[in-house]
Structure 1
Amino acid sequence: MFFDFGALPADIRYKVLTSTVTPRPIAWVTTRREDGVVNAAPYSFFNVMGQDPPTLVLGLLRDPKRGFKDTAANILDSGEFVVNLVPERLAEAMNLTCMDAPPDVSELDVAGLEAAASVHVSAPRIAASPVAFECRSLTVLVTGPKQAIVVGRVLAAHVADEVVLDAARAYIDTPALNLIARMHGSGWYARSTDRFQLDRPTYAAWLAARGEIAG
C-alpha cells in the first residue's frame, strides 16, 4: 500500500506514522510559566541526538483549539525544560498529565506528583522519575502552524541512586528502570522487559566468515 502524504489529511498521516514508528520513548516534559505554574505533559516524538554536545529533540504537535501547547509555549518563553523518563509504576500518573487541563492548572497537582528543584533551570523535575534531564533550548524549528521541533542541550542528568552501578564509569542498571514506550493507536504502551542482544559485527570478521581477507 502506497500512502502519498501530500494527498492525505493530517489525521491519516498521523496514524500511519504512529502505527509504524514504534516503540517510541516517552519524554515527560516539565516546564514553568512566567507566573510559576508548572506544566507537565508526555511526548513520544522524542529521542537523544548526540553526546558532544549532549542533545535531545522533542516534536511538539499543536493543540487543535489553543495552537501551541503549554509545553511549547513555555519553552519558547523561557528556553528551559526538563525531560523526565517514565517507568511503568508511573504510567497512570503520566496518563493523567495527558488531560486537557487549562494553562493555569499544574498537571503535577492533578496527578499528585511531587516536584524536585533542578540545578541549572527554573523548571522542576518530577521527583519520582528515575531519570531526568535538565535542558536548555538550542533551537526551535516551527515546522507547521503551531507545530515545532525543539532541539535541547542537556545540561545535567539526575539518575536514581539505586540504578547506578558505577558512577565513575556511568554503568547504569537499565533494565531496573523498567521504562515504558509508546505504541500504536490510542492508549497503547509497551514494556521494556522482552529483550535480546546482538554483538556489533566488524567488516574483518564478516570477511573471515566468508573465507576472505580484507585488502
Structure 2
Amino acid sequence: MDIDFKSLPPSDVYHCLTQTLIPRPVAWVLTENPAGDYNLAPFSYFTAVSSDPPLVMISVGKKPDSSFKDTRVNIEARGHFVIHQAHSGLAAPMTETARALEHGDSELDRIELTTTPFAGFSLPRLVQCRVAMACRLFELKEVGTNRQALVFGEVQHLYVDDKALIEDKKGRLKVDAAMLDPVGRLGANEYSKMGEVLTIPRPS
C-alpha cells in the first residue's frame, strides 16, 4: 500500500509514523515545576544529534487543549532537565506519567518512584532508572503549524548503572544493552522489550 501523506489529516499521519518508525527510544523527562517540585513525562520523538557538543533532541507537542506541555514550559523557564531511559519493569509507571495534568501538578506524587541527587547537576534523577542524562537547554525551535517544539539539550552529565558497564579489550567502557533492558515505543499502546542483540563488525 502506498499512503499519500498529503491526503491525510495530521492525526492520521501521526498514527502511521508512530507505527512504522519502530522501535523508538523513550525519553522520560524530569523538569522543575514553578513550585520547585518535579514534572515527569515520556516522549518517543527522541534521538541523539551531535557529540561535539553532546546534544540530544526531544520533540514536544501540545496538550489536548492546545496549550504548551509542562515539559516545554518548564525547560524554557528554567533551562535544565533530566532525560531517563526506563527499563521494561518501569513501562507501566512511565505510561502513567503521560497523563495530562494541570500545570504544576507533579506526576511523582502519583507513582512510587524516588529521586536522588544527580552529582554535579541542579536537578535530581530517578533512582529506579539505569540511565540518566543531565541536560541544559541548548536551543528550542518550533516547526509546523501546530508549533511542535524541538528541544535540543546539551548533555552535561551521564549516569549509567555500574551493573551495566563492562570494560572491553581496549580498556574502554562498554554498556551492556541487555542489562539496561530499555523500553522501546511502538504504535498505539504497544512497547517492545530488549530482544536478541546482533553483533556485526563494521567495515574498516
Q: TM-score, normalised by structure 1?
A: 0.86
- Out of 166, 174, 180, which is 2:177 matched to? 174
Displacement of 1:192? 1.3
For residues 39-118 of structure 1, the aligned pairs below 5 Å read 39-118=39-118
Amino acid at match of 1:160: D
Against the structure 1 CA distance between its residues 111 and 146, is the aligned structure 2 distance closer, same or farther, given a 3 Å change threshold?
farther
Q: Is the 8 A contact 1:120 1:134 kept in 2?
A: no
**CA apart distance, 1:120:** 4.5
Q: What is the TM-score with the length of structure 2 in the denominator?
A: 0.91
Mapping 1:1-215, distance limit 5 Å: 1-144=1-144, 145-166=146-167, 169-184=172-187, 186-202=188-204
Q: Greater shift after overlay, 42-51 or 3-12?
A: 3-12
Deviation at 1:69, TM superposition (A): 0.6
The 10-residue stretch of structure 1 (168-177 or 17-26) with the greater mean CA deviation from structure 2? 168-177
Q: Distance in 1 between matches of 2:122 and 2:65?
A: 28
**Displacement of 1:199 after TM fit?**
2.1
Q: Post-superposition shift, 1:201?
A: 2.5
Aligned-residue offset at 1:119: 3.7
If you compute each CA radius of gyration, which structure gives the higher value, 1 or 2?
A: 1
SS of the equivalent of 1:111 reads coil
**Counterpart amino acid of 2:174?**
Y
Structure 1 residue runs of 5 or longer lacking an equivalent are: 203-215
Q: CA offsets, 1:95-139, max 9 Å, x none?
A: 221112222321112111101223454332111100100001110
Retained in 1: the 8 A contact 2:135–2:153? yes
SS in 1 for 2:89: helix
User: Residues 136 and 200 of structure 1: is their aligned pair in 2 closer, same or farther, counting only changes over 3 Å?
Assistant: same
Comparing 118-127 and 26-35, the one that deviates more: 118-127
| 1:29 and 1:41 in contact (8 A); partners too | yes
Aligned residue identity for 2:184: A
Look up the SS of the partner of 1:103 in the other structure.
coil
Offset at residue 46 of structure 1 (A): 0.3
SS of the aligned residue for 1:14 comes to helix
Q: Using the aligned pairs only, state the percent identity.
A: 33
What is the count of residue pairs matched by the alignment?
A: 201
Unaligned 5+ segments in structure 2 are none
Would the aligned equivalents of 1:31 and 1:124 in 2 still touch at CA under 8 Å? no
The one-letter code of the counterpart of 1:111 is I
CA contact (8 A) 2:63 2:100 kept: no
Instruction: Note the C-alpha offset of 1:172.
Output: 2.0
Instruction: Give the CA RMSD over aligned residues.
Output: 1.8
> CA offsets, 1:49-96, max 9 Å, x none?
121211101011111215211111111111111000110111121122
